[in-house]
Amino acid sequence: MIDRKSSSDKKLFIAELNYLAYQLEKYATTFNQALILYDSINIIERKIFAIENLKKSINQFSDSELMVEVQKILSLQNDGHSGTSLLFDNFIFNNSIEYILPLYFEFFGQELWCIGVYGQSNSKFINTRLLSFNGFSVAEIFDKFKSIIGYDNIFNARSKFQKHISSVAILKAIGVVRKNDTNIFITTESIQGGLNCESLSYINKNTYHPDYSNLLRLAENPEIPTNRFITSRDLMIYEIPEINSICVKISTLRLSEEQKDNLYSTLKIRIENVKPRKIIIDYRGNEGGTGFLNDKWIEMLIEYGKNDSNLIVITDIHTFSLATKQAAWLKLEGNALLIGEPSGGNFLGYSSPKTYTMKSLNLSYNLTTEHFNDSKKFDLSEIAMRISSFELLNPDKEIYPSVFDFIEGKDPIFRYISSL
């Protein structure tokens, strides 16, 4: 908490804002070529100007309002790496968030569906389409949310929105609920078309302790994960005999060197034994990690793709950071066919963002400031020129699972792959 009467507290806040301005200037230098190409240098200039105004306005905002203002400043165009602790993690794991709605949502195309709930009393909301909160339509709430996060990549914004719409702190920040409210008026529509309008109470996350193990849902063991972030394992390699294929489902690239070595050796043995007609790399829900583009398992797949051209990569709106870049690299160097949804990740933010903490607000934030380097020299300009996009990775074949696919436990992407 900032004591507005304490000169030392104010000095600390101003010093931390100055440091943020320095990091933004460093960002502008790092991505100068891309920012000029997109005529976006003025965005950074406006943010630095906003910092100067915030220094003068400390007495006009509460601490929570200052946090929102800092988040707006941090929202860099098309860069999913940058943001405050309000947007770091899913609301379940985010210590900055105390009260939540007992609902879990998933985008199917452009529609937001409640696919799971906490508490048996809320089971009536399972597999219903969200229409409004407190009279605000989903489209209106989404626009308000984008004004805070600032991301232009619509798929990136949808991924963040889905993860945070159940956060009461976020709903208050965008003006959907009032400061002292303890419940929200929600309107949903069932699969059959019936409307449901009622008041829903918040739950205290620290008291209720929600996690994915007590998330109630109706779809049992579907081919499509109930939530693309929820997987029982970080890495799975399995065979699909009916199409003579091997699938690598990789949910995170936060792998140790030992895990990467095991991935390489296990995959190599599987390929030698099975001699698959296709190898499928499923990056859905993968938000990146700490690997490289020349990891041994990636180079092995590239050689396979060059020789056979039956390498398939699946992405969705939750594919971010290094996962986006590896998917692009497999397409460029390994002739991979990209299938699924456009990526939430983009090429204007590099791996290994730095984490800083504003002690004055007890607010942590991420900011991409370093170049992404590896021995392949896979830089921003190369991927952008060869993929022809700075913003996102577009699949060769776009396929969007529907809510009916989800309920029936079917994966239209694998059905399409089976037809190839």
Q: Report the C-alpha gap between 266 and 279 in whole angstroms.
A: 14
Each residue's pLDDT, cut to its tens digit, for the chain (420 residues) gives: 676 667 888 889 999 999 988 888 877 776 666 666 555 667 778 888 889 999 888 888 877 778 878 877 876 555 556 666 666 666 666 666 788 899 989 899 889 999 889 888 899 999 999 999 999 999 999 998 887 776 667 888 888 888 889 988 889 888 899 878 889 999 999 988 899 999 999 998 888 777 767 777 765 444 544 445 445 567 889 899 999 999 999 988 888 889 899 999 999 999 999 999 999 999 998 888 877 778 899 999 998 888 766 899 999 988 888 888 889 889 988 999 999 999 887 665 555 567 788 888 888 887 765 544 443 444 555 666 676 655 568 899 999 988 888 888 788 999 999 998
Q: Report the C-alpha gap between 104 and 352 in whole angstroms.
A: 29
Residues 250, 283: contact at Cβ < 8 Å?
A: yes
What's the token pair of residue 398? 């776009």
Question: What is residue 196's predicted lDDT score, i.e. its pLDDT?
Answer: 92
pTM of the full predicted structure? Answer: 0.83
What's the token pair of residue 250? 């990789």
Domains, the chain, with CATH or none: 101-140+153-169+176-214 (2.30.42.10), 235-346+392-419 (3.90.226.10)
Instruction: Write out the E strands in 325-393.
Output: 337-340, 354-358, 363-367
Question: What is residue 56's predicted lDDT score, i.e. its pLDDT?
Answer: 87
Question: What is residue 142's predicted lDDT score, i.e. its pLDDT?
Answer: 93
Question: What is residue 83's predicted lDDT score, i.e. its pLDDT?
Answer: 67
Question: What is residue 154's predicted lDDT score, i.e. its pLDDT?
Answer: 82
Specify the 3-state DSSP secondary structure of 134.
Answer: coil
Task: Please name the helix (run of DSSP H) or strand (run of DSSP E) that holds residue 273, with its range, or none.
Answer: helix 257-274
Region label for 3, one of left (φ > 0), alpha (ψ between -120 and 50) or beta (otherwise): beta
Residues 199, 183: contact at Cβ < 8 Å?
A: yes
Q: Report the C-alpha gap between 9 and 371 in whole angstroms.
A: 34
Please state whether beta strands 195-201 and 183-189 pair in parallel, antiparallel, or not at all (unpaired). antiparallel
Residue type, 18: N
Residues 46, 119: contact at Cβ < 8 Å?
A: no
Q: What are the CA-CA distances from residue 419 to residues 89, 245, 333 (Å)?
A: 37, 13, 24
